[in-house]
């Protein structure tokens, strides 16, 4: 019945999770998967979400009907506003097409299939080296090519901004550039505002098409505005002549990982006549609708309704902004504690990068051999690349983790 079906190796991240779950040691530590944990190491339902769920369920006319193909309109409007900013050029000029997606991954998939069919430029997506591993899979399986731009300078444990900018400048004109607007996964290193200007200028000069993959807005710094600044600059400066794609995930910042809440926003460049803009918008919308209809028929409603409530109900919104600070500041505190403990132990190496990085992840600089020993000897699980999910640290395990790092580094 089949031609040969090749057995594939398990996904490295979900394989790590399975080994962690099967480990009987009671003091094991999971620094693998990128999901927030509270100070007791437990998943956290945001108070804003609990409140919004209650309001939603008790609201008149609440039901579980199908959504339209574009998704839940109040969610799409509020989602665009939170990422682009209420004063965005894109909003005032009505230059946006929004499509609800299966979280950030679904938005990336929509962009990939859409560009593979309609992009007239170089159908190669430039990804940071390293990047979230699934980026490669998502773009390759849609038929696009992928290439990389330098990002992590391993020797100095910092951003290779010169390599990044020169690769963009030398890429064929009209290529696709994928950008992490904040909390870069896996390195946790973000460009400074001045570095962003250089990156965006290079993109503008070479007429490239940028895709912003926003998976951590508000989660990195605690500020929605700061974490979206690169996207807002790209759009509001008006220097980029191509459409701009924004993939937006509410997995981490609303803590609704499994509900798959997200959106794709396509922002048209300034300067189109009103008539041609409307024609282009409705053509893009019809194609995104066609794709969505053939793949999932219509997007899931429950999570989108909760997120719409969180974003638009004043009490829920206020609570959410506090929740973002709770999550981001706990992570920042854990970065500090890990660094101080390593310094206290005299662990060989420098540790400033742990606190210079932001967001969920730290690229620790540990080698694959060290990661393996951490897992086997100490029951501390992190990716073989040395990426640690800082959200897995808490007051109860940070000391153990620092000692384990120290032992494997000296071994």
Q: 252 an active-site residue? A: yes
Cα 82–Cα 88–Cα 91 angle in degrees, nearest 5: 85
Binding to ligand PMP in span 307-366, by CB under 6 A: none
Which residue number, 34 or 243, has a Cβ lying nearer to ligand PMP? 34
Which residue number, 103 or 385, has a Cβ lying nearer to ligand PMP? 103
The nearest distance, CB 216 to ligand PMP, in angstroms, is: 7
195-228 burial, b for 16+ CB within 10 Å, e for fewer? ebebbbbbbbebebbbbbbbbbbbbbbbbbeebb
Q: Torsion-angle region of residue 174: left (phi > 0), alpha (psi -120 to 50) or beta?
A: left
The nearest distance, CB 262 to ligand PMP, in angstroms, is: 5
> Of these residues, 44, 152, 252, 339, which one is catalytic?
252
Binding to ligand PMP in span 240-259, by CB under 6 A: 249, 251, 257
Q: In this chain, which of 20, 114, 132, 164 binds ligand PMP, going by CB under 6 A?
A: 132
CB burial of residue 40 (10 Å; 0-12, 13-18, 19+): exposed
The nearest distance, CB 254 to ligand PMP, in angstroms, is: 10
User: Residue 160 in contact with residue 191, Cβ under 8 Å?
Assistant: no
Does the CA dihedral 109-227-131-89 come out positive or negative? positive
Using DSSP bridges, classify how beta strands 124-129 and 152-153 pair: parallel, antiparallel or unpaired: unpaired
Which residue number, 14 or 62, has a Cβ lying nearer to ligand PMP? 14
Please give the Cα distance from 77 to 99 (Å, whole number): 10
Encoded one letter per residue, x for contact with ligand PMP by CB under 6 A and - for no contact, window 138-177 reads ----------------------------------------
Encoded one letter per residue, x for contact with ligand PMP by CB under 6 A and - for no contact, window 65-104 reads --------------------------------------xx
Residue 112 contacts ligand PMP per CB under 6 A: no
Which residue number, 44 or 257, has a Cβ lying nearer to ligand PMP? 257
The nearest distance, CB 80 to ligand PMP, in angstroms, is: 17
Q: In this chain, which of 243, 262, 299, 386 binds ligand PMP, going by CB under 6 A?
A: 262
Alpha carbon distances (Å) from 225 to 32, 46, 63, 81: 28, 20, 33, 11
Name every residue whose Cβ is closer than 8 Å to that of residue 365 and which is 6 or more positions away in sequence.
154, 157, 349, 353, 386
> Of these residues, 30, 160, 213, 323, which one is catalytic?
213
Binding to ligand PMP in span 30-59, by CB under 6 A: 34
The nearest distance, CB 257 to ligand PMP, in angstroms, is: 6
Residue 213 contacts ligand PMP per CB under 6 A: yes
Does the CA dihedral 267-272-273-276 come out positive or negative? negative
CB atoms within 10 A of CB 187: 28
> Of these residues, 30, 44, 132, 190, which one is catalytic?
132
Residue 180 contacts ligand PMP per CB under 6 A: yes
Q: In this chain, which of 70, 88, 105, 122 binds ligand PMP, going by CB under 6 A?
A: 105
- Residue 216 DSSP code: -
User: φ and ψ at 381, to 5 degrees?
Assistant: -105, 115
Which residue numbers are catalytic? 132, 213, 252
Contact positions vs ligand PMP (CB under 6 A): 34, 103-105, 132, 180, 185, 213, 215, 249, 251, 257, 262
């Amino acid at each position: 019945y089949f031609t040969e079906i090749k057995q594939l190796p398990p996904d490295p991240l979900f394989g790590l999770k399975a080994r962690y779950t099967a480990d009987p040691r009671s003091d094991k530590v999971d620094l693998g998967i990128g999901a927030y944990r509270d100070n007791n190491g437990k998943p956290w339902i945001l108070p804003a979400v609990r409140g919004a769920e209650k309001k939603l369920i008790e609201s008149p006319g609440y039901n579980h009907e199908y959504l339209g193909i574009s998704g839940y309109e109040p969610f799409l409007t509020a989602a665009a506003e939170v990422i682009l900013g209420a004063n965005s050029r894109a909003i005032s000029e009505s230059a946006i097409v929004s499509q609800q997606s299966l979280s950030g991954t679904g938005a990336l998939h929509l962009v990939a299939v859409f560009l593979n069919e309609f992009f007239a430029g170089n159908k190669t997506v430039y990804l940071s080296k390293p990047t979230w591993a699934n980026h490669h899979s998502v773009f390759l399986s849609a038929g696009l090519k992928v290439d990389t731009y330098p990002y992590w300078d391993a020797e100095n444990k910092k951003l290779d901004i010169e390599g990044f900018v020169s690769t963009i400048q030398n890429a064929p004109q009209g290529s696709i550039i994928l950008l992490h607007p904040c909390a870069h996964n896996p390195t946790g290193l973000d460009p400074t505002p001045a570095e962003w200007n250089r990156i965006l200028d290079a993109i503008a000069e070479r007429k490239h098409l940028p895709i912003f993959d926003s998976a951590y807005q508000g989660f990195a710094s605690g500020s929605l505005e700061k974490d979206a600044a690169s996207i807002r600059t790209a759009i509001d400066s008006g220097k980029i002549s191509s459409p701009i794609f924004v993939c937006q995930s509410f997995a981490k910042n609303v803590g609704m990982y499994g509900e798959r809440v997200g959106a794709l926003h396509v922002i048209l460049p300034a300067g189109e006549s009103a008539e041609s803009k409307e024609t282009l918008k409705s053509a893009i919308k019809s194609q995104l609708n066609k794709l969505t209809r053939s793949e999932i028929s219509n997007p899931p409603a429950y999570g989108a309704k909760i997120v719409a409530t969180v974003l638009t109900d004043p009490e829920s919104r206020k609570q959410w902004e506090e929740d973002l600070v709770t999550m981001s500041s706990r992570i920042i505190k854990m970065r500090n504690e890990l660094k101080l403990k390593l310094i206290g132990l005299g662990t060989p190496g420098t540790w400033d990068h742990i606190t210079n990085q932001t967001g969920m992840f730290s690229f620790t600089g540990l080698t694959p051999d060290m990661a393996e020993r951490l897992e086997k000897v100490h029951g501390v699980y992190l990716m073989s690349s040395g990426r640690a999910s800082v959200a897995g640290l808490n007051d109860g395990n940070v000391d153990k983790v620092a000692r384990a790092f120290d032992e494997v580094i000296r071994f």
